[in-house]
């Protein structure tokens, strides 16, 4: 029986996620992972075909983390659509490097905004926009596209250090643009 690997695939992906989260996706190299794991590059490259494969799997992990950040407990919110928008913007402020990795590192090259909105991963979010706004079909997609564009732009400014996070300002913007309300406000 061969000896058990000291550096596992899961350890490498955990390290890759943390490197991207703390240092940015540009820092994701076999050497950086090896240094993080206190090993040579050999165990890192033994577990994966390439650093590109590590990057792809790390992207999937970051995407799942982002989805959980946005949606966990959302059903308990009084105004889920407003909460979703605020969470998206807050993610740009709190997880700057992950935001840039997910949305500003070329993963969507060549796609249109319509393709992104119609992606199976966005279906639940478009459905939420439909439910909360009382619309369906193209109207719900249109609302979600406008909401996504606004919150993505705001989050991008935060992720790139151009602005400070101002939750009340973000809430006011979303309320003014979309009529979204939190309990006790604007009623």
**What whole-number distance in Å separates Cα of residue 33 and Cα of residue 91?**
25
**What whole-number distance in Å separates Cα of residue 149 and Cα of residue 153?**
6
List the structure tokens of 151: 């919150």
**What whole-number distance in Å separates Cα of residue 171 and Cα of residue 144?**
16
**What whole-number distance in Å separates Cα of residue 66 and Cα of residue 88?**
9
CATH 3.40.50.10490 fits 1-65, yes or no: no
Angle among Cα 142, 150, 178 to the nearest 5 degrees reads: 65
What H or E segment, with its residue span, contains residue 79? none
List the structure tokens of 75: 């059903």
Instruction: Evaluate the CA torsion angle 161, 164, 169, 175 in order and state its sign.
Output: positive
CB 60 within 8 A of CB 164: no
Global pTM?
0.87
Closest to 89 measured CA to CA, from 184, 171, 162, 5: 171
- pLDDT digits (tens), the chain, 187 positions: 666 568 999 999 999 999 999 999 999 999 999 999 999 999 999 999 999 999 999 999 999 999 999 999 998 999 999 999 999 999 999 999 999 999 999 888 888 888 888 888 788 888 888 888 888 888 888 888 888 999 999 999 999 987 889 999 999 999 888 765 444 444 4
**What whole-number distance in Å separates Cα of residue 59 and Cα of residue 68?**
14
Closest to 85 measured CA to CA, from 23, 133, 118, 119: 133
Domain ranges within the chain, ordered by starting residue: 1-65, 73-181
pLDDT for 12: 97
């Amino acid at each position: 029986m061969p000896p058990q690997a000291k550096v596992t695939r899961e350890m490498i992906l955990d390290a890759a996620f943390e490197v991207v989260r703390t240092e940015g996706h540009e820092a994701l190299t076999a050497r950086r992972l090896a240094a993080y794991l206190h090993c040579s590059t050999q165990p890192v490259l033994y577990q994966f075909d390439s650093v590109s494969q590590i990057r792809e799997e790390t992207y999937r992990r970051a995407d799942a983390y982002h989805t959980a950040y946005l949606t966990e407990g959302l059903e308990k919110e009084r105004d889920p659509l407003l909460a979703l928008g605020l969470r998206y913007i807050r993610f740009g402020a709190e997880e700057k490097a992950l935001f840039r990795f997910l949305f500003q590192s070329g993963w969507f090259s060549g796609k249109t905004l319509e393709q992104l909105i119609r992606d199976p991963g966005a279906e639940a979010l478009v459905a939420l926009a439909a439910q909360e706004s009382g619309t369906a079909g193209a109207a719900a997609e249109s609302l979600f596209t406008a909401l996504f564009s606004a919150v993505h732009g705001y989050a991008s400014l935060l992720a790139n250090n151009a602005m400070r996070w101002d939750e009340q300002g973000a809430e006011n913007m979303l309320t003014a643009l979309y009529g979204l309300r939190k309990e006790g406000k604007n009623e």
